[in-house]
Amino acid sequence: MSTTEQAGRVAAPTAHPLDPLSAEEFRQVAAILRRERGVGARWRFASIELVEPGKDALRAFQPGQPIRRDAHAVCWNRDDGQAYRAVVSLTDGTVAAWEHLPGQHPNMTVDEWHECDEMLRGEPRMAEALARRGVTDLGRVLVDVWAYGAALVPERYRGLRVGWGDVWYRGSEHGNPYAHPVAGLHPIVDLNRMELLEIEDSADSGAPATPPRVMGEYLPELIPMPPRDIKPLSVSQPEGVSFTLDGTLLSWQNWQLRLGFNYREGLVLHTVGFSDSGRVRPVAHRLSFAEMVVPYRDPTTDHYRRTAFDIGEWGLGFMTTSLELGCDCLGEITYVDAVVHDSRGEPRTIKNAICIHEEDNAVLWKHVDHVYGAEVRRARRLVVSFHVTVANYEYLVYWRFYQDGNIECEVRATGIMVTTHFPDGHQPPYGTLVDERTYAPFHQHFIVARLDLDVDGPANTVYATESEALPVSEENPYGLALVVRNTPLHTESEGMQDYDWPTQRAWKVVNDGVRNGLGTSVGYKLVPTGCFPPLLDRSSVAFRRAQVIGHTLWVTPYREDERWPCGEFPNLSDHDSGLPTWTEQNRSIENTDVVLWYVFGIHHVTRPEDWPIMPVDAVSFWLKPFGFFDRNPTLDVPPTPAQCHD
Ligand SMILES: [Cu+2]
């Protein structure tokens, strides 16, 4: 990770144990495994990431101390399909642990996605199947390989590293690659031998013989209308920005946090704290996205296998794309590069992977005194963001820090929807008509945020907080009385919580050992927005693999190795071996180091307006101080400009 722009940063970055692996460290991990474990040319690296130091070690760390560096790696041998998990000591140059993972299929890799597309476009059987549909220009074809759920893999291919492909073609050289689906054509591929096993060709599936005429383009030169008029808008901070970045340590308006990055979660926020009267009070130990599950809700031939695990199968880090000034981020931007690796273990630098900037956010607070006039403060927020492209879809992730102690996490989805054609005279039951004889299947994007909060320290309890209207009684003759009930969640089974509209249920993470000046326990409230029910049969294959989506919130006691809510290897999985398995122990979650797993996202009932490219659909949730401070922490925000104060 390295900073590419100089705005607001300190000259010599200080090394820290949470710094992501460098390009050189990726190379070393691969070299050590080649040397010590015979990881050869027929192997692939699925993942390499830093072993993050434990909480005690982190607390004890002093700048300048020697730093131990270790990495986790998962790799597999393509010849026999066997996968291994390694702990590699970079400090000692040795393999500290090497574990066989029988029956496990590591995540998909970007290399496989490209190699599979390449291989299939040169496959004579594919060329024949396409020619039968009138597609002869293979240069315009894209085969998008997807991962499978185990239950849907044909019996004869069980145990293989199989993928299945969608076939698309561009209407012209620079046309949208996802504009034209090739209906009923799905290659099944052995990704280890990188060869075609068979083609599922249901040309008789009811899809129309003549493809519809669709307008699936978005490039200015390909759309049938002139661009509308718009004037320039500039953001200028003539005196520079108000944040500093020292290595990976980011400081702004009392906030302090550390940036991390890995192949799977992408951006990770570590040790988030708020400086209160000069003392940095912990709020969160680690914030990230641990899984994203995207079941398509269309049981027809072209879609019944479509349940993507964009984090567990593909990885937000691997899919992160470079950001461009003025396009992706506007204003005074500090970019941070990220380093990931390819399946050979070679480092790959993503330039401008993370964008850090400040934004004006309208009014923070205001009052007009009828005698003395108005007093106003402008709100400013710090935004740390990154963008990922997972084949046809884009996810834009924004962590926003506010002056009042609020943290907002917003995800925007954009990109190109999966579409499918249907014959004349039919109406699609499982999607919305978006173009001539073309519909976009309904689907859902469930995102699981892993929120390792440490509110003023690790000993926290989660309370469900619910509003209740009291019945009319002698004490409440007008029926106005409203009380708020705070119920501590004692065990993991109590920690499985669902959104509840009638009680406006939310959750407070409280440190009962720390009191504010008012004498109440300090806390942070998780405000559940952007959540929705799974609407999935509990016996379905999709639900079995992603049981985490069955609740809005799960709470577990912190365990270093519990990171992936649908299991470490959702690729070709049969069931969810993460949260449902851990929580079977029904451990205590009271007055301990808790981790919250918040499930939110987008219930995507597709619209004609989402086609051919989707204007962003944004969803967010909030972490808000609740008694963390004993008064409004923004009284000291200065009036800028000066006329905001009379
Ligand atoms: Cu969607």
If we measure between CA atoms, which residue out of 14, 28, 40 comes closest to residue 89?
Answer: 28
Identity of residue 30: A
Q: Is 281 in contact with 290 (CB distance < 8 Å)?
A: no
Ligand 1: centre distance to CA 215 (Å) = 19
Give CA angle at 28 (22, 29), nearest 5°.
95
If we measure between CA atoms, which residue out of 397, 525, 383 comes closest to residue 453?
Answer: 525
Cβ-based neighbour number of residue 158 at 10 Å: 10
Ligand 1: centre distance to CA 426 (Å) = 23
Q: Is 196 in contact with 187 (CB distance < 8 Å)?
A: yes
Cα separation of the two ends of the chain: 46
pLDDT of residue 427: 87
pLDDT of residue 14: 76
* Residue 439 pLDDT exceeds 90: yes
Query: Choosing from 310, 435, 454, 456, which is the catalytic residue?
Result: 310
Encode pLDDT of 194-244 as tens digits. Answer: 999 999 998 755 555 688 999 999 999 999 999 999 999 999 999 999 999
393 is catalytic: yes
Q: Is 418 in contact with 296 (CB distance < 8 Å)?
A: yes
Query: Choosing from 393, 395, 558, 598, which is the catalytic residue?
Result: 393
Q: Which two tokens stand for residue 578?
A: 């993460």
Starting at the earlier edge strand, list the strands of the sheet with 2-3.
2-3, 334-341, 347-369, 373-390, 393-402, 407-415, 614-625, 521-527, 506-515, 461-469, 482-488
Encode pLDDT of 367-407 as tens digits. Answer: 999 999 999 999 999 999 999 999 999 999 999 999 999 99
pTM of model > 0.85 = yes
Distance CA 306, CA 422 (A): 18
Ligand 1: centre distance to CA 342 (Å) = 28
If we measure between CA atoms, which residue out of 46, 59, 49, 29 comes closest to residue 112?
Answer: 46
pLDDT of residue 209: 67
Starting at the earlier edge strand, list the strands of the sheet with 43-50.
43-50, 70-77, 83-89, 94-100
Ligand 1: centre distance to CA 622 (Å) = 22
Q: Which two tokens stand for residue 173?
A: 């050289």
Q: Is 217 in contact with 176 (CB distance < 8 Å)?
A: yes
Encode pLDDT of 537-595 as tens digits. Answer: 999 999 999 999 999 999 999 999 999 999 999 999 999 999 999 999 999 999 999 99
Q: State which H helix or E strand residue 341 sits in.
A: strand 334-341
Q: Is 104 helix (H, G, I), strand (E, B) or coil?
A: coil
pLDDT of residue 384: 98
Ligand 1: centre distance to CA 608 (Å) = 13
Per-position b or e across 26-62, b if 16+ CB within 10 A of its CB = bbbbbebbeeebebeeebbbbbbbbbbbebeebeeee
pLDDT of residue 409: 98
pLDDT of residue 236: 95
